[in-house]
Amino acid sequence: MKLNRHLVRTSVVIAATALVLTGCRSSSSDEDSGAGPGISDEACPDAVNPDNGCISLGVISDLTKGPFAPLAVPITDAQKAFWKKVNEDGGVGGYDIDIASNIADAEYNPEIHNRKYQEMRKDILALGQTLGSSQTLAILEDMKDDDVLGLPASWNSAWEFEDQILESGANYCFEAMNGVDWAVANRGVTGKVIAVGYPGDYGGDAAAGVEAAAKANDLEFEKIETPTGQDNQAGAVAAILKAKPDLVVVTTGPAEMATIVGGTAAQGFTGTFVGSSPTWNPALLKSPAAPALEALFFQAGPWGPFGTDTPGHEAMRTALGDVTPNDGYTAGWTWSYPLLAALKKADEDGGITRESLVAAASELTEVDYEGILPPEAGATQGDPADVAYRSSVISKVDPAAPTGVSIEQDLTTGPTAEAYDFSKPCFSLQ
Amino acid sequence: MTDFFQALVNGFGQGSIYALLALGYVMIYKATRVISFAQPALMVVGGLFSYHFTSELGLNFWVGMVLGIVCGALVGMLVERIALRPMLGKPVFTLAIITIGVDIVLRIVSNRYIGVQSRIIEYPGGNERFSIGDVSISHQRLGLIAVTAVTVAALALFFQYSRTGLAMRATALDQETALAQGIRVGAVFALAWAIAGGLAAIAGTFVATGNAGIEQTSWIIALKALPAIIIGGLDSVQGAVVGGLAVGIVEALTATFQPDVAPWLGANFALVAPYALMFVVLLVRPYGLFGTREVERV
Amino acid sequence: MSSRLRGRPLVRTSYAQDMALLNTPAKRRSTIAIVIASFLVPFLVTDDLLLVLTLGMISAVGAIGLNLVTGYAGQVSLGHAFFIGLGAYTGAVLGGDPDAAVTGYGLPIYVWLPAAGLVAAVAGLLVGPIAVRLRGLYLAIVTLGLVFLGDHIFREARDLTGGPGVGRRGPDLVVFGIDMGESGVVLGLDLAREQRQFLMALVFLIVFAVLARNIARSGVGRAFSAIRDRDVAAAVIGVDLTRYKVMAFAMSSFFAGVTGALYYAVVGVFEPSAFGLLLSVQYLAMILIGGVATISGAIMGAIFISSLGRISGEIAHVLPFISESSGTDGLLSVFQLEAILYGVLIIVFLIFEPRGLFGIWTRIRNYWKGWPFSY
C-alpha cells in the first residue's frame, strides 16, 4: 500500500509539473528568426537540406477515434511523403517544408480541433490539412485573424467560396451531377433516382447535385438520409426496395455503402449504384456483397485511383514505397499540389509570409498536378462559377486493380455540371 | 405483407447478434453485479481473432471461429484478472468506469490491427440465400441464428445441470454464502468474464461475415445490446435472449415501416426505437420482463 | 451571533459556526489563497493552456451538478449529456446570431444563461419521477436512453442545431458590455481573449460552487445524503422521496444547462454528436476521479479530466519507444498512445485511489495536520 501511495503521489506531481512547465507564459516571446510565424531561417528538424530555412505546416486530422480515422491516416501519410519529396527536390524558395512536427489528432471533434489549433497557431505558416466541415468552421474565424491558409480534407462546394480554404478536385455536388449524367448515358437510367447519404454537408452537397441532374435529365428525384453504422441501414434498404429506382447515388462511408448495395441486391434489386469518392474501400472485394458491387457499383471520384498511370500517381507510389494501396493516399497527395504552387508563387511575388501565401492562393491560374488533374483545375483566380473544376472520373470495380477500382470514364464534365449556375454553395455550411 | 415478414426475418438475424452480446452483459452482471462496458471491445477483439485464423491463416471457418471464441474468452479472463480483481468491493460505478477505460485501450489496439481495411471473413456457402416465397434469408444469417440457438441451449444446460453452473448460480444469488460453502468465487468471476468474452467473439465473428465486416467504428453495434438487457431484466439469461431478439425485430420493423406510418417521428427513428421500447417495458415492469424484483430492506 | 474565542479557533459556540461554509481558520485562509492565486493564473500561463483550464472550470460546474444527483443523492444518471445539450442549444438559440442560417434571437447573456438552466431544469423535473420508480443500473441505462433520444431530437431539429456534421455557432459571449471573444484593453488591462474567458469562467465557477456547497449543507443536502444511504430508511423518517429525488434531478439539470450554454459559447461551433454517451461518461469519470459527494472533488476531477488530453499528449511525446508517425510503423502511433493513455490514466487512478483526487487531498491534509507525528 505504501508503494501505491508513493506511486500515485509521484505520478500526480509529475503530471501537474508537466502541465505547468509546458504552460508557462514567456514574457519575451521567442519569435522565429525569420520572416514571421511558421517560417524561419533555421533548418528544420531532421532536415533534408540543412542549408535551407524551414516552413512549418500544421495538420489537424482525425487519427484515432473518429469515424474518418481509417482514411485520415493514409491521407496524412501521403502528405508527409509529398512534402518530403518536395524537400528532396530542393524545397521552395530556399526553405524546406516541415509537416511532421505539427500533426494533431482532433478525433473529429470541433472542440478538440479548436484546442489543437490554439496550440499550434503561433508555430505554423499554413494548415496542410484540416479535416471536417464543422471542425474547420470552428477555427475559420481564427484562421482569418491569423491569415492562415488551410487545405480541407473534403470536397465541399462551400470551400470554393472561402478564400481562406484551398481545395482541389471537383466537389461532391458536381461529382454527383457527373455520376448521374454518366449513368443516364451509359446505364440506361430513365425513371427515378434516389440520393442516399449522411445527413449534413457531405450527403447534402451530393443530394443537391443529384437533384439538379435529375431535373436536367427529366428524372424523378427522392432524397433519403441515413445514419452512420453498418447496422443502421435497414431503413435505406427498405426505402430503395420500395421505390425501385433505376439509379441510387450513395454518399456514405464504405461499410454503409456495402450494406446498402448488398442488402438491396440480395432482395433482387438490379439498379445502378454510383458512389462518391469516400464510399469505396478495397477490402470490400472480400465481402459477401462483392458480386453485387462488381455488377452494380461505380465510383465517381475527383481523379484516377491509386493505380492510375500518370506521372503524379507514379511519383506518389514511388514516394510512399511499399504500402497497402488505398485512395486516401491519392487524396492526401493530390490535395497538396495547390499549396506547393501557392508557395512557389508567393516566393516569386516577393517572399513567403502568411499574408502573401493567402494572396497567392487566390491568384493561381494553374497548378502543376503532374498529370493527375489538368493544370487549369487548380485555378483559383476569378469567380468560383468560372474557375471551379467540374470534371469527375467514373471507376468500376476491378478485382485486379491495386485499390479494387479502375477507370471506366476518365475526367469528363457532364452536361448538367457544365451548365450549372455555381453562384453559391450547393449546400450552405453557415 | 412480404415486407413485414422480410423485416421480421432480418430483425431476427440482427437480433441474434444483440442477444449474444446481451448474454455477455448479463453473465458479468449476474456474477459480479457490474455492468461491463468492455463488451464492444471484446466483440471486436474476438471477431478479429476469428478473422486472423480464417483469413490470414487459412483455416476452416468453423475451426477459426472456435479458436476465436477461445481467444476471446482468454482476453475476457485477462481483463477480469488485471483490471477488475484488484477492485473487488469498490462501488459499482467505479468498476463500470474502469471497464470503459479497458474498452478504450482494447479498441485502440484493435484499430491498429484493423488499419484502413474492413476485416471481412468469408462465410462458407458464400452468398446463397434460402427463400420461402418472396422472403429470403442468407445462409450466413441462418448460420448465425443456428449458432445462437445452440449457444443459448448449451448455456442453459450448463447452468442447470453442471456443478460449475450450479456454483455460478449460487454465487449470483449470494456471494458470501457461496464462499462459505466452499465455492471459489474468484474462479466464478473469471469464468463469467470468459463466457462473456466467448459470446462476444461469436457475435464479432458474425459481424465480420456481414456485408461490411469489422472496421474501426463497428464497436458501436454492441451498445444496442444495453436496452436489450434492460428490457429482458439485468439478471435474467432468458431475458437477455428475448430482449436481444426484441430489439433486433423492433429495429427492423421501425426501419421498414416508420417512414410511411409515422414520419413525424423524424428520419431514422429506428436508432431510438430500442430505447423507446425500453421505456415502454419499464413503465409496466420496472425490473424488465424477466428481472427479479429487488427486495428493499432497511 | 456568538463570539469566537481568541486563541481557540476550533471551539464552536453556536450551530451557525459549526455549519458555516468555511468553519476552520485553515479553510478560510486556504480558500482565500486559492481564489487569489486563481485570479493571477491568466497572467502566468500560456493562452492554449488557459483555454484548457477555462473549459475545465466550466465543466466543473456540470460535474458539480452531476455530483448533486449521483454523489449526494445517489441517483446514478448517465443522461447528463442530454441536459448539457439542452442547455447548450437553448443558449445558442436564444443568444445566437439572428442572421445565421439557424435560428437565433441575439438576446443578452442574462437572458440566455438562466434560460438554458431553466429549460434543462424543466426537463430534469420531467425525468425525476422516473427515478422514483427505478433504481440502480436500471435508472442508469434509462437515463442513457435519454441521451439517445436527445441525440435523435438534436439531429432532427435542423433549424435549431444545424444538423449533424454542420453544427452551429454558440451564443455570443458579451458580459457587462465586455466581449469575451475579442482581445484588447479592458478595465486598464490588456487581456487576450483566453484571459478574459478564464476570468469569466472563474467567477462563474465560484458562484455556482458556493451555491452547490450551500445546497449540500442545507436540509435539502442532508435529505439527499439520507436518500443515498438508504432511501427506505429515509422515507421512514419522513423524507419525501419523490419530492427530493425530483429536486435532485432538477437541480443537477440546471447546473448542466448553464454549463452547456457557457461551454459551447467558449468553444464556438458545436454539432449534435457532441452530446453522446462519451460526454456522460466523461462527467461521471470527473466525479469519480475527483471524489464523489464533495464539491471540491468535483472541481478537481473536472479540471483533471479536461486536461487529460493535454497531459497524455505531453507524456506521449516524451516516451521514447513511440514512433512520431501517424502511420503504420512503430508499435503504436503517438496519437493512439495518447488515446490509450486517456483510458489507462483513468483506470490507474481509480485502482490506486478509489476515493479520487479528494481522497489524495485528504491524505495530504491529514499528513500535514499530524506532522511531525504523521505516522
ipTM of this predicted structure: 0.85
Q: Is a pLDDT exceeding 50 seen at residue A27?
A: no
Residue-level pLDDT at B152? 93
d(CA B202, CA B146): 12
Residue A370 dihedral angles phi and psi, to the nearest 5°:
55, 35
Q: Tell me whether residue C126 is in a domain.
A: yes
B115–A70 C-beta distance less than 8 A: yes
High-pLDDT (> 70) share of chain B, %: 99
**Neighbouring residues of A337: CB distance < 8 A, sequence distance ≥ 6:** A168, A312, A367, A368, A369, A370, A372, A378
Alpha helices in chain C (DSSP H): 15-18, 25-40, 47-66, 80-95, 109-133, 136-156, 158-161, 193-216, 219-229, 231-236, 241-267, 277-290, 295-318, 334-352, 356-370
Instruction: Tell me the C-alpha distance between A191 and A201, whole Å.
Output: 26
- The residues pairing with B130 across neighbouring beta strands, listed in sequence order, are B137
Name the residue among A404, A361, A390, A343 with its Cα closest to residue A82.
A343
A96, β-bridge pairs: A54
| CA atoms of C351 and C330, how far apart (whole Å) | 29
Look at C270 and A25 and tell me if their CB atoms are within 8 Å.
Answer: no
**pLDDT-derived band of residue A21, with 50, 70 and 90 as boundaries?**
low
Hey, how many other C-beta atoms are within 10 angstroms of the C-beta on C275?
26
With cell 454528436, the residue in question is: C273
Q: How far is it, in rounded angstroms, from Cα C8 to Cα A173?
A: 78
**What distance in Å separates the CA atoms of residue A287 and residue B208, rounded to the nearest whole number?**
9
CB C133 within 8 A of CB C208: no
Candidate from C232, C288, C332 with C-beta closest to B112: C332
Please report the pLDDT score of residue C24 as a whole number.
79
Q: Inter-axis angle of helices C277-290 and C136-156, to 10 degrees?
A: 140
Amino acid at A211: E
The reported pLDDT for the residue numbered C178 is: 81
What confidence tens digit (pLDDT) does each residue in C322-354 have?
Answer: 555 545 555 567 777 777 877 787 778 777 777
Residue C58 lies in a domain: yes
Tens of pLDDT along C213-270?
999 989 999 999 999 888 889 999 999 999 999 999 999 999 999 999 999 999 888 8
A137 contacts in chain C (CB < 8 Å):
166-167, 269
DSSP state for residue A246 in the 8-state scheme: S
Name every residue whose Cβ is closer than 8 Å to that of residue B231 and which is 6 or more positions away in sequence: B239, B242, B243, B246, B247, B274, B277, B278, B281, B288, B289
Residue among A275, A220, A216, A223 nearest A249 (CA):
A275
Q: What pLDDT, on a 0 to 100 scale, did the predictor assign at position A430?
A: 66
pLDDT at A342 over 50: yes
The fraction of chain C above a pLDDT of 70, given in percent, is: 95
Which A residues in the span 241-270 are in contact with B, Cβ-Cβ below 8 Å? 242, 254-256, 258-259, 261-263, 266-267
Per-residue confidence band for A29, with pLDDT thresholds at 50, 70 and 90? very low
Residue A297 pLDDT: 95
Residue C316 lies in a domain: no
Please tell me which residue of chain B has the smallest CA distance to A235.
Answer: B255
Q: Is residue C327 part of a domain?
A: no
Thinking of the domain A172-303+391-419, which architecture would CATH place it in?
A: 3-Layer(aba) Sandwich (3.40)
Give the pLDDT confidence score for residue A1 in this predicted structure. 45
Predicted pLDDT of residue C321? 57
- A26 pLDDT higher than 80: no
Helix (H) or strand (E) holding C178: strand C178-179
pLDDT band at A154 (very low <50, low <70, confident <90, very high): confident
Q: In terms of DSSP bridges, do strands C189-191 and C184-186 run parallel, antiparallel, or are they unpaired?
A: antiparallel
Burial state string for B26-65 with b = 16 or more CB within 10 A and e = fewer than 16: bbbbbbbebbbbbbbbbbbbbbbbbbbbbbeeebebeebb
How far is B246 from chain C, CA to nearest CA, in Å? Answer: 16
Least confident of B257-266, B285-294, C177-186: C177-186
Interface-testing mutation among B118, B141, B219, with chain A (most A C-beta atoms within 10 A) = B118
Under the banding of pLDDT at 50, 70 and 90, the label for residue A20 is low
Mean pLDDT calculated for residue range A340-353: 90
d(CA A349, CA A343): 10
The answer to whether residue B97 scores a pLDDT higher than 90 is: no
Contact C69, C249 (CB under 8 A): yes
On the question of pLDDT at A14 being above 80, the answer is no
Q: What's the confidence (pLDDT) of residue A268? A: 87
Per-residue model confidence (pLDDT) at position A134: 81
Q: Report whether pLDDT(A5) > 70.
A: no
Residue C62 lies in a domain: yes
Put simply, the answer to whether A200 touches C165 (Cβ < 8 Å) is yes
Any idea what DSSP says for residue B81? Answer: I
At A32 the pLDDT is 43
Please give the average per-residue pLDDT across B33-52, as a whole number. 93
Taking residues A395-409, what's their average pLDDT? 91
The one-letter code for the residue type at A175 is E
pLDDT of residue A28: 38
Angle at C52 between CA C46 and CA C56, to 5 degrees: 135
DSSP for C43-112? GTB-HHHHHHHHHHHHHHHHHHHHIIIIIIS----S-HHHHHHHHHHHHHHHHS-TTSSS------HHHH
Across A156-160, B16-20, C59-63, C199-203, least confident range: A156-160
SS3 A28: coil
Interchain CB contact of A351 with B (< 8 Å): no
Q: Where do the domains of chain A lie?
A: 33-153+304-372, 172-303+391-419
Q: Residue B25: is its pLDDT beyond 60?
A: yes
Helix axes C47-66, C241-267, angle to 10 degrees: 170
- For residue C303, pLDDT beyond 90: yes
Confidence bin at A172 (pLDDT 50/70/90): very high
C296 within some domain: no
Selection from B172, B45, B35 nearest residue B99 by Cα? B35
A408 Cβ under 8 Å from any chain C Cβ: no
In chain A, the percentage of residues whose pLDDT exceeds 70 is: 92
Helix segments in A64-132, DSSP class H: 69-88, 110-120
Question: Domain span at residue C175?
Answer: 41-289
Least confident of A328-342, B70-84, B175-189, C181-195: C181-195
In sign, the C-alpha dihedral spanning A62, A63, A65, A67 is positive
User: Whole-number mean pLDDT of chain A?
Assistant: 87
Lowest mean pLDDT among A246-250, B132-136, C120-124, C277-281: B132-136
pLDDT of A9 reads 60
A45 touches chain C (CB under 8 A): no
Q: What is the mean pLDDT of residues C194-212?
A: 93
Residues C15-24: pLDDT tens digits? 887 778 887 7
How many residues can be counted in chain A?
430
A232 chain-B contacts, CB cut-off 8 A: 255, 268, 270-271
Give the model confidence (pLDDT) of B198-245 as tens digits.
999 999 999 999 888 888 888 989 988 999 999 999 888 899 999 999
* pLDDT score at B179: 87
Residue range B173-200: mean pLDDT, rounded: 90
Q: How many domains does chain C have?
A: 1
Residues in chain A closer than 8 A to C315 (CB atoms): 15, 18
Would the pLDDT of B125 be above 60?
Answer: yes
pLDDT score of A126 more than 90 = yes
Q: Do A110 and C338 touch (CB under 8 A)?
A: no
pLDDT-derived band at A10 (thresholds 50, 70, 90) equals low
Average pLDDT over residues A50-61: 91
- Only one residue has cell 425500453, namely B278
> Identity (one letter) of the amino acid at C150?
G
Provide the shortest C-alpha distance from residue B23 to chain C (in Å): 16
Residue C60: its pLDDT value, please?
Answer: 96
On the question of pLDDT at A23 being above 80, the answer is: no
Superfamily of domain A33-153+304-372: Response regulator (3.40.50.2300)
Residue in the block written with cell 468498476 = B95
| DSSP bridge pairs for B135 | B132
Of the candidates A93, A108, A98, A121, the one whose C-alpha atom is nearest the C-alpha of residue A360 is: A93
Name the residue type at position B1. M
**Mutant choice from A17, A75, A111, A424 vs C, greatest count of C C-beta within 10 A:** A111
Tell whether B215 is within 8 A of chain A (Cβ): yes
Q: Is the pLDDT of residue C3 over 90?
A: no
Q: What angle do CA C200, C204, C207 make, to 5 degrees?
A: 140
3-state secondary structure of B137: strand
**Model pLDDT for residues A71-95, shown as the tens digit of each residue:** 888 999 999 999 999 999 988 888 9
pLDDT mean over B33-60:
91
Q: Do C44 and A111 touch (CB under 8 A)?
A: no
Closest CA to B215 of B96, B116, B94, B80: B116
**Alpha carbon distance A278, A408 (integer Å):** 17
Helix (H, G, I), strand (E, B) or coil at C155: helix
Nearest to C293 by CA among C233, C208, C229: C229
The 10s digit of each residue's pLDDT in B4-20 is 888 999 999 999 999 99
Residue A355 has pLDDT above 50, yes or no: yes
